[in-house]
Amino acid sequence: MSTPSALIDVEELAAALGGADAPALLDVRWALGGPPGAEEYAAGHLPGAHYVDLDRELAAPPGAAGRHPLPDPEVFGAALRRAGVRADRPVVVYDAGPATSAARAWWLLRWAGHRDVRVLDGGLAAWTAAGGPLTTEAPAGGGGDFKPEPGALPTVDAGGAAELARTGLLLDARAGERYRGEVEPVDPRAGHIPGAVSAPTTENLAADGRFLPAGELAARFRALGVEEASGVAVYCGSGVTAAHELLALAVAGHHGAALYPGSWSEWSADPANPAATGA
């Protein structure tokens, strides 16, 4: 069985929303430091979209496991069922662009066992640029039956990430200046996991905010060593941006890479973990 595409474009989504088998549509707008996604959703969203909160429903409360630990399956499942997600119904997720929080929702749904999840390429920006309508009307909640069964996609813990940095390939999806330790706006220490390779998610995108074609992404990851590595994992600041990298890897045809959910927010909080700086 072929793996469904991880992306959907504006034209295909518009046609799907008008069809008999319309997907469940999730608005997962979020940005570090705001503005609140719920307020943006209330001001205008795609018709039929339900809002899902990244901080409260796509993550557990921050703590020793990082700023965005994996969510409690019961909390996550309740949010999905409220948004009409069913096991036999396609799901499309979007954010404002560039798909960072949408990728987090995509990865979580796939990790939880849903087989048909796609991200709107270019997000809300692409939809409005194409003349797509917005509404302030929230649809009625309920109607979903999806029950998460975590574990369908691989994860690693801090020890596993360190091991892959030595023996496989550990990609750091943050901006280059954070990887090099030149700045650190939110986490306890600057730098990166020793042995990790810098792979900023901004390089997954074209100038218009959409993902690069699959062939170009494949060439990018080939140059980073993905094809030769015995194992691949990705981390970022708190496990959100890393999902964007995993989405790009999937578009490029690589489906086995793991997420380090705690990412730098967990790693840097433990003084026993070393931190490297520079290129």
CA 203 to chain centre: 15
Spatial distance between the Cα atoms of 48 and 148, rounded to a whole number of angstroms: 22
At 148 the three-state DSSP class reads coil
Give 220: exposed, middle or buried? Use CB within 10 Å, 0-12, 13-18, 19+. middle
Nearest to 175 by CA among 10, 77, 32: 32
Whether 236 sits among the annotated catalytic residues: the reply is yes
Q: CA-CA distance, 122 to 36, in Å (whole number)?
A: 20
Q: What torsion, rounded to 10 degrees, do the Cα atoms 198, 201, 207, 213 define? A: 100
**Hey, is 244 helix, strand or coil?**
helix
Structure tokens at 30: 């979020």
Could you give the CA distance from residue 200 to residue 105 in angstroms, rounded to a whole number? 19
Residue 173 contacts residue 199 (beta carbons within 8 Å):
yes
Q: Are 272 and 235 in contact (CB under 8 A)?
A: no
Q: Which residue has the tokens 């939110």?
A: 186
Q: Which residue in this structure is represented by tokens 């799901």? A: 91
Which pair of tokens denotes residue 15? 């046609």
Catalytic residue among 236, 242, 246, 259: 236
What does the block give as tokens for 211? Answer: 């993902």
Active site residues: 236
